[in-house]
Structure 1
Amino acid sequence: MEEFQECLALSDLEDIETRGTLFTWGNGQLEDPILRKLNRVLGNQSWRDTFSDVYAFFDAPGDSDHSSCVVDLNVNLRSRKCSFKYFSFLAMHPKFLETIKSSWDEDIPVGSKLFSLGQKLSHVKKACRKLNKEGFGNIQQRARDALSKLQDIQSRLLLNPQTAYSAKRDANTTFYHKTCIAHEARNAIRYLMDNEDQRIDQKEAVKNLAVEYFQSLLGQENSEVQPFTVEELKAIIPYRFPQEWTDDFIAPPSDEEVTGIIFAMPKS
Structure 2
Amino acid sequence: MMGDFNQILTSDENYSISTYTLPVRGMEEFQECLTLCELEDNETRGTHFTWENGQLEDHILLKLDRVLGNQSWRDNFSDVYVFFDAPGDSDHSPCVVDLNVNLRSRKCIFKYFSFLATHPIFLEAIKSAWEKDIPVGSKLFSLGQKLNHVKKACRKLNKEGFSNIQQRARDALAKLQDIQSRLLTQPSDNLFREEFVARKEWKFFEKAEGIFYKRKSRIRWLTLGEGNFGHQAQNAIQYLVDNDDQRVDQNEAVKSMAVEYFQTLLGQETRKFSRSQWKN
| TM-score strictly above 0.5 | no
TM-score normalised by length of structure 1: 0.33
Which of these two proteins has the greater Rg computed from alpha carbons?
2
What TM-score do the two structures reach when normalised by structure 2? 0.32
Identify, as 1 or 2, the structure richer in strand: 2
